[in-house]
Chains A and B, each alone.
Chain A
Amino acid sequence: MKILAISLLRLGDCIMHGPAIKALKQRYNDCEVDLLVNEQFLFLESMMTDVDRFIGFPRKELQQLSGKYESQIFEPVIMLENFVRNLGDRYDIVVNLTQNRLSGYLCSLINANEKIGLCLDSDGKPSFGNAWFRYLNEESSDKPLIHFTDIFARGCGAKKVAEIELKRTKSGIEEATAALKGLSTKVLAIQGFTSDERKNWGDENFAKSIQYFLRIHSEFSVVLLAAPSEEGVVRRFAKECQSVGVEARPIVCSLDGALSILDNCEILLTGDTSIKHLASATKCKIVELSVGPSVPQKTGAYSEGAIIVAPRMSCSPCAHSGACSEVKFNCHESIPPEAISMILSQVVLNNRLGLKDIANEYSDLFRIFWTQLSEMDIWTLTEIGKNGLAEEIQQKVRVSGLKLMLDGSHLKFISSCGSEGESIERSLLHKDEANSYDELKSMLSGLEDELFGEEEILTHLKFELGRVFRAGFEGKMLSEFDEEMSLALRKSRLLQRVPVTSKATNLKGTSKSDQFLVLRRTQNFISSAGNLNELEKKLVRSIKNKVLER
């Protein structure tokens, strides 16, 4: 069997797609997986596992030809046609791991028996292949629950979490050996720049945090990592470090070189960069600064025990495209360098309680998150800080409930809520916070009550919707239902996070057939919310039972 996976975003995204490709390999025995990437990332061939062949998509060339006045207007069209023709009919399955319009159209264009992921027909009508990819499309909240890597991997059939794996190359190892020569065995790596200035915390901030960190941990050497295109920037950064008395070695290296360097580093401080995803494939500890438009819940470091620091600001994270709405980058300023140096120090010392103290001290400025990968078989992000237990339970129940629903557990006669609840209980980072099991039990009961309250709202909505259907969409009844629905959407936290785009709105004034369609969608929406509610209740009960067993 031959599979083509499409990964046409940036470097970091390609690396994040590793677990999805692994899932394909495990799901379809003896399959061959080709990976379509933007041509400039073909060098990943030497690093990514599970891919049999890399194919370069000539995006830059196509864009240049399309935008160049001197090129004949059909030249890029023919080039693209030839490219697609060359892909031929050799694939049984095409998997779109990119989720944008371009890849959606391309996915439709390539001949294959089965398509997984976003496919768009020429009118832009989508199909998704399964619930995970549909969720990816419909998830629009500012507090997403599931990491992109998990969505893609589960969408490709993964049942267990898989870490990001990358191959080391001989040249990368040699590059690392030469670059780290003469440094102490303990190395702090910094990669502070991305192409989006909103994501760059700033040279001065980085330099100061290193300065403070080295006062306590003088045994560390510091390296500043940069790609060849960033050489000028990293030299400037090294000078900034020098100006505060910090000797930091700038290292301009290839990606495989960077991977081997990270293998030899104890800790990495970085922003939302591809280096962060590389570090996820090593034992190097990660401290990620999630400023600007970075959404840690979607693209945070996909590893166990990484620390993510995110500003506590109303505008954070900002929109993916567009400029900062403020006069200056307030989110950068809300994270003081001394706090980062303390966080680095606590991470080096493996002191989670110390991190909790820092989180509490700076709770008005930023939040500290801890990532977990293995316990619940899905990546989770837990905020460290006071009163964290109730929030952590709630968060993990939500993630788990959604995961079970998207996997179709609610349709199975025996769901896996019992074992899932046990996993949640095992994974609780703030378990020690509860003074007694009674306290923990009462927290769970509170959550259960909340879910019963949600159930009442849903039952009421179902009843009202049934009346509207029975009355043949009678005008007054429609208006009443519209109001009920709007009220429920404001009141119910569950309804707010069910990933469906079309909710019952604008019922008035539309034709009967349109009203029917909207109401059917609303019915599905309420039904999804009901399934989610049911799963979450089961999970809470399972955690409670586990607690009672003690």
Chain B
Amino acid sequence: MVEISFSRTEKPILKYDGKLLCSGRDPELEARRWIEKIEVRQSNIMVIGVGCGYHLKSLVDRFENINVIGIDSSNVITGMKKNIWKDVLPKRIQLIDRCELKKELVKRNLRSCLRHGFQVEVFRPAISSRLLDFSELYEFLLGRTEEGLKFLLWLMEDYGSVLLDKSGKPALRITKSDPVSIVDVRKMAKNSALAEEKKLILNIMGELVR
């Protein structure tokens, strides 16, 4: 259940199941502080936790050349859009319901913008009461689970077209309990038909983590 409230700085903020999704004192200051800790490496940033949206807005305001994709549960997104952004989405921000992330249409839309890479960030205040719910999604987006790796390979067509089998699974069975790493991708690539250039890139990565 999403409810609206106001911060001490008179900014509209949200509560989810009675818990605040951002700072009750000064959500904009909190957003600025969060941004200071972010090291922007990619032009696309996926942020887990939409919260009250201040941090997403600050992120695009602060960095001119980035696109932000906020992920959260649908009721938080709807509540935030309606109450805080008044249904006007700031430029360069997309919001995605976490349940829809695995849907074909959403994935296809994402592919065009994420194929050149993305980084994953977490806005903890927005999900602090739902950490467990989001941990699986976090690992998925990082590519640390077999499903996640499958998703990333699918996004990166150059790799995915060779390293995913006909059923869309990674060609190498990831059976171990350890998280998936780039070394697993290198193993998959070893005897595959992957382009020489891509194999060389993966070999270099393998040398760097040795």
Q: Which residues of A contact B (CB under 8 A)?
A: 59, 62-63, 65-67, 69-81, 84, 100-102, 105-106, 108-109, 120-122, 124
Contacts and interface: CB of A to CB of B under 8 A. Distances in A.
B181 A73 contact: yes
Interface string B190-210: 000000110111111101110
Contacts of B207: 100-102, 105
A321 to B, nearest CB: 11
Given A69-B142, A105-B200, A122-B199, A76 B205 contact: yes
Given A69-B144, A78-B116, 10 more contacts: A66-B205, A71-B119, A71-B142, A73-B180, A75-B118, A76-B182, A78-B117, A84-B201, A109-B197, A121-B196
Contacts of A65: 41
B168 interface: no
Contacts of A100: 207
A333 to B, nearest CB: 34
Given A72-B119, A72-B143, A101 B201 contact: no
A83 to B, nearest CB: 10
Contacts of B56: none
A72 B205 contact: no
A509 B202 CA distance: 36
Contact of B201 (A75, A81, A120): A81
Given A69-B179, A71-B142, A102 B204 contact: yes
B203 A101 contact: yes
Interface string B126-147: 0000000000000001111000
A171 to B, nearest CB: 30
Contact of A122 (B119, B196, B209): B196
Contacts of A67: 209
A373 B180 CA distance: 52
Nearest to A84: B201
Contacts of A105: 200, 203-204, 207
A73 B143 contact: yes
Interface of B: 41-42, 116-120, 141-144, 149, 152, 156, 159, 179-182, 185, 196-197, 199-205, 207-209
Nearest to B207: A102
Contact of B118 (A59, A66, A72): A72
A6 to B, nearest CB: 12
Contacts of B203: 101, 105, 120, 122, 124
A92 to B, nearest CB: 20
Contact of B117 (A59, A63, A75): A75
- Which of B152, B182, B185, B202 has the largest count of A CB atoms less than 10 A from its CB? B182
A233 to B, nearest CB: 28
A123 to B, nearest CB: 8
A143 to B, nearest CB: 29
A63 B209 contact: yes
Nearest to A100: B207
A275 B199 CA distance: 38
Given A69-B144, A72-B141, A74-B152, A80 B205 contact: yes
B205 to A, nearest CB: 6
A423 B173 CA distance: 64
Contact of B142 (A66, A72, A101, A121): A72
Contacts of A102: 204, 207-208
B201 to A, nearest CB: 6
Contacts of A106: 200, 204
- Which of A77, A108, A120 has the largest count of B CB atoms less than 10 A from its CB? A77
Contacts of B156: 74
CB-CB nearest 7 A-B residue pairs: A122-B199, A78-B117, A73-B143, A102-B207, A66-B209, A105-B203, A109-B200
A109 B201 contact: yes
A101 B197 CA distance: 15
Contacts of B149: 73
Contacts of B119: 71-72, 75
B202 A77 contact: yes
Contacts of B204: 80, 102, 105-106, 109
A510 B182 CA distance: 37
Contacts of B180: 73
Contacts of B41: 65, 75, 79
A21 to B, nearest CB: 23
A109 B204 CA distance: 10
A137 B203 CA distance: 19
Contacts of A75: 41-42, 117-119
A101 B209 CA distance: 13
- Which of A62, A63, A76, A122 has the largest count of B CB atoms less than 10 A from its CB? A122
